[in-house]
Amino acid sequence: MRHAMQWAALILAGLATASAAEPVVLTAGKTRLTLGGEPLTLKLESSGAVVAGAHAAGGLLIGDPESLETVRIESTGYDRQGHRVVEVRTASGKRARVTVALTPNQADLTVRPVEPMAVLLRVAPMAPGYGLGDHAILKRKSFDTDITGYRDDRFLSDGGEIRLISNFVYYPKQKFAFLVWEPGMKMVRSTVDECAQGSRKVESEVRFSLFTGSAREIYAQFLESRNLFGYEVMKPKYEFFGVGWEAFGALAWDTNQKTVSENVGQYRKRGYPLSWMVVGSGFWPRAEKRFHETTSFGLYDSNLYPDPKAFIAQFHALGMKYFQGLRTTFIVDGPYSEEGVRNRYFVEEDGKPKVFEFSWPKSPCYFLDWRKPEAVEWFRQLARKWVEYGVDGFKEDVFGYGKYTLGDDKLDPLNAALKREGLYVMGRNTYLASPADLHRLNDFNYNQPQDRGPVNALAYAYSGFPLVYPDIVGGTFGEGWFDLKVTPKMQAYIKRNAMWAAMHPSMSMGQGPWTFQDPEVEEVLLKAALVHDRLQPYFYSQAVKFSLDGYPHPMTPLPVAYPGDAQVYGRENERVRGYEWLIGDALLAAPLYGNDYETAQSRDVYLPAGTWMEYDTGVRHEGPAMLKNHAMPVAKTPLFVGGTGIVVEKKGNGLVARVYPVTKEAVVEFIHPDGSSKSVIRVKVRGEKAESVRTGKGKTVAAGWQRHALEFGLVAGEEYEVR
């Protein structure tokens, strides 16, 4: 492993001990890290160019979080593993030890203060910066993926909109990314004065990572470090990338065996290709409040769900996966709480299980202690009680804990344990890890600013969470958050929202399209669902690739894909509404969305270098080009095909490769729905269009032109050459 051999990569300039005036310089490949000066600063370089400049006022600060102090080097040396060690001290006498490891494209600094205190690491300011997960939409003056100006010295999940947590920040122009690995309360700043991160209270040690290189190198390093440092990224499963259905969006709290079956039946009767569904709440026994939680394992309301096994089996017979809500909050007098208290499986305070008051459940509850492996195993065994009824997986949705300081990683071990069981997980709470099949946006509704959704989703992609599920199409109409009277504005909203959602790795249906009293609503929503369903295998292949190399293939923001193109910057905000992203290496999504959804009919769409074709019409464009006031009718699929031009889609009961005439040479490795089988497709075209397809063994494959592309059937494990 690269990190296991870090000591071997250190090429040292200087002696094993040094005075405070002598800098510490480490090099690895083209990467160079310099620690020195008084106060101590740090500088990162690559190929002789400065990537992260030294902060003039000091690069390492320790002490009280409200009055941090700079440090100077007292001495340097090596630890037993061969890593470089720097002893530092403040003017007031506070001390810490810094262990430094450098490999090509990554520097890791571990700071160990002699007593608990805050630690902050900073470099010179840079911009634009992207990332921060859910925090990218919190306490901002406007909705914008560029986080320049951001400062939060109490950076932690809040149990509401802020639950998918990543303090990974990427600066594409500088080829730099940065984070502190800290599940507790952090300090995060990306302002015109500094680029800084830290921990408000380090009990023993805290690790910082600085990355440099191309986008693919940085995200690959980030992935390797996530897996190495205990923030695992796990392979997703296929079905979740199709079109789903959520009971809460369709029925709110009115869920029972009859209403769920009828609503799903309505969708299927109208041609919606549903592959998964969620009944998130309300299935528990309703008579007593102590059962009102998803941790009433194996218990159903006998009146509302008289035959759970048969109920779930009917959906399995339709080829659908069935999921339920699941949380780690146990009502204090609930059915399994006594056992949890007896075995000390819950978070404790002063030696006793702490009683919490969350937004949900409404009753006082205990919280499972995720730091105890025995508690995690107990929870996993209890979850099997749901699986025995046929439940395929869970929508994790712990929320309402904002007044408590709980670690951001509080759900990661539980979700990882369920994933290892082979179950499906819709993730909502996580820190840096991806122990889930999808990364779900917090509830996104009609009554909210509509620029939040696109900015939030793109921030996920920058942050290492590209398996974006943008919540239920239309949101939750039945909760009573807004007037349910159908208006032209509401009809425009649901159409634009559906087509925007269809461009993400997963989407789901909720409020029935037939309730909007508009044939065009039904037409557009069905088209959006069918387009997404057709692209399900393509989306999934990109998702598996992400789990293997860390790059945000399923949803790649343009500044990640084209960092040297000045035109891609400054567009992902509520002013320009240039919400665009690549899906894999062949599709560019450019949906018309934002707070102007009711009136807007066109957008300025930017196409990077290369040939691009409109997905519906085949109209060609040559980039780089800005398509000014590009017409975007509500029924138009907001996709362009470019890049490799190779897209794999569903067709009937099989898969087809579709090769668009946008390039003369390309190679793509497609990963099949089983998550492991592959097909390699090579394009070598001399003329204007491809004319034939052969397997790797030279066998001719039947192919023909369909919808502006050469199309042929795809078999797992086979190689193809398009000529």
Cβ neighbours, 10 Å, residue 311: 21
Predicted confidence (pLDDT) at residue 6 exceeds the cutoff of 50:
no
As a dihedral over the C-alpha atoms of residue 413, residue 2, residue 206, residue 547, rounded to 10 degrees, the angle is -30
Q: Inter-axis angle of helices 412-420 and 373-387, to 10 degrees? A: 50
Same domain? For 25 and 107 the reply is: yes
Question: Do 261 and 317 belong to one domain?
Answer: yes
Last residue of a domain, one of 641, 660, 681: 641
Mean local confidence (pLDDT), 221-235:
98
521-525, 565-569, 619-623, 695-699: segment of lowest average pLDDT: 695-699
Q: Is the pLDDT of residue 588 over 70?
A: yes
Task: Tell me what the mean pLDDT of segment 619-630 comes to.
Answer: 98
What are φ and ψ of residue 3, in 5° steps? Answer: -70, -30
With 50 as the cut, is the pLDDT of residue 12 above it? no
Residue 142 falls inside a structural domain: no
**Integer Cα distance of 164 and 158 in angstroms:** 10
Q: What pLDDT, on a 0 to 100 scale, did the predictor assign at position 14?
A: 32
The whole-angstrom separation of Cα 297 and Cα 386 is 6
- Whether residue 357 lies inside any domain: the answer is no
Decide if 336 is inside a domain: no
> Residue 8 pLDDT more than 60?
no
Structure tokens at 119: 């630690």
Q: Give the bridge partners for 223, in sequence order.
A: none
Q: Are residues 616 and 717 in the same domain?
A: no
> Does the pLDDT at position 252 exceed 90?
no
Domain match, 585 and 601 both: yes
- C-alpha–C-alpha distance, residues 128 and 557, integer Å: 13
80 found inside a domain: yes
Residue 680 has what pLDDT?
A: 97
pLDDT-derived band at 11 (thresholds 50, 70, 90) equals very low
pLDDT reported for residue 481: 81
Quick: pLDDT tens for 355-368: 999 999 999 999 99
Taking only the tens place, the pLDDT of each residue in 100-144 is 999 999 999 999 999 999 999 999 999 999 999 999 998 899 999
Banded model confidence at residue 428, pLDDT cuts 50, 70, 90: very high
Q: Alpha-carbon distance 581 to 210, whole Å?
A: 26
Convert the pLDDT of each residue in 87-100 to its tens digit. Answer: 999 999 999 999 99
Please indicate, yes or no, whether residues 534 and 592 belong to a single structural domain of this protein.
no
Q: What is the mean pLDDT of residues 179-189?
A: 98
Choose among 701, 702, 703: nearest CA to 718. 701
Residues 83 and 56 in one domain: yes
d(CA 225, CA 549): 12
- Both 423 and 570 in a single domain? no
From 641, 664, 687, the end of a domain falls on: 641
pLDDT at 82 over 90: no
**Average pLDDT of 703-710?**
95
What band does 702 get if pLDDT is binned at 50, 70 and 90? very high
Residue 716 has pLDDT above 70, yes or no: yes
CB-based contact 88:120 (threshold 8 Å):
no
Residues 591 and 665 in one domain: no
Cβ-contact 494, 612 below 8 angstroms: no
500 shares its domain with 516: yes
Do the domain assignments include residue 656? yes
Residues whose CB falls within 8 Å of the CB of residue 15, separated by 6 or more in sequence, listed in order: none
Angle at 170 between CA 230 and CA 410, to 5 degrees: 30
Peptide bond into 128 cis (omega under 30): yes
Query: At 10, phi and psi to the nearest 5?
Result: -80, 120
Question: Could you tell me the CATH number of the domain that includes residue 413?
Answer: 3.20.20.80
The arithmetic mean of pLDDT across residues 430-434, rounded, is 98
Residue 426 domain flag: yes
Quick one: tokens of 36?
């020195």
The residue from 550, 571, 587 where one domain ends is 550
Give the residue-averaged pLDDT of 404-411: 97
> For residues 563 and 462, is the Cβ–Cβ distance under 8 A?
no
653 shares a domain with 616:
no
Q: What percent of the chain has pLDDT over 70?
A: 97
Number of domains composing the chain: 4
Residue found by looking up tokens 């949101």 in the block? 475
Indicate whether 130 belongs to any domain. Answer: no
Tell me the pTM.
0.95
pLDDT digits (tens, 9 = 90+) for 457-507: 999 999 999 999 999 999 998 777 888 899 999 999 999 999 999 999 999
Tokens of 163: 């639950």
As a three-state string, the secondary structure of 242-285 is CEEEEHHHHHCCCCCHHHHHHHHHHHHHCCCCEEEEEECCCCCC
**β-sheet bridge partners, residue 121:** 60, 197
Coil/strand/helix, residue 461: helix
Q: Do 278 and 207 belong together in one domain?
A: no
Average pLDDT score over residue span 151-174: 97
Strand partners, 722: 683, 693
The CATH number of the domain where 593 resides is what? 2.60.40.1180
pLDDT at position 9, please? 33
Chain-wide mean pLDDT for the chain? 95
Q: How far apart are the first and last CA of the chain?
A: 41
Asked if residue 624 is part of any domain, the answer here is yes
Q: Which domain holds residue 655?
A: 646-722
Query: How much is the pLDDT for 4?
Result: 36
Beta strands in 493-573 (DSSP E): 507-509, 556-557
Per-residue pLDDT tens digits for 656-682: 999 999 999 999 999 999 999 999 999
Looking at the fold, whether 635 and 652 belong to one and the same domain comes out as no
Could you tell me which of 489, 705, 494, 719 has the C-alpha nearest to residue 618?
Answer: 705
pLDDT, tens digit, 9 for 90 and up, residues 640-660: 999 999 999 999 999 999 999
Which residue type, as a one-letter code, is found at position 102? L
Q: How many CB atoms lie within 10 A of CB 633?
A: 11
SS3 at position 598: coil
